[in-house]
Amino acid sequence: MSLVENLSDSPFILDMGATCHISPVRSDFKTLYKIALHPIISVGEAKVHATGVGSIKLCIANGHKVVINGALYVPSSTIYLVLVLCLNCFR
């Protein structure tokens, strides 16, 4: 489980414009299912490929826990990315 006590300590980039959640670390996933290579194009037309999809359990400030479903496993990514707008639906 990833622990986020302070946003500056977070390995995840929280993005309002992202269209998917991304992690390059297999152990972040609570569940993970293999998928056909799925291209993801980022800023500057850089391309990486997702190889799996699953859920990531995060513990955010004050001990609140959230499960991010539909996160993409992108082993070649150099960032972690969370679509911040989806966090608004958790209580």
For 29-68, the DSSP string reads EEEEEEEEEEEEE-GGG-EEEEEEEEEEEEE-GGG-EEEE
- Residue 20: predicted pLDDT: 83
CA 62 to chain centre: 20
pTM over 0.95: no
Other Cβ atoms less than 10 A from the Cβ of 83: the count is: 18
- Residue 60: predicted pLDDT: 72
DSSP lists the bridge partners of residue 15 as: 83
Burial of 68 (0-12, 13-18, 19+ CB in 10 A): buried
Q: Which of 10, 83, 19, 22 is nearest to 48 (CA)?
A: 22
**Residue ranges for the chain with pLDDT beneath 70:** 1-11, 17, 43-44, 86-91
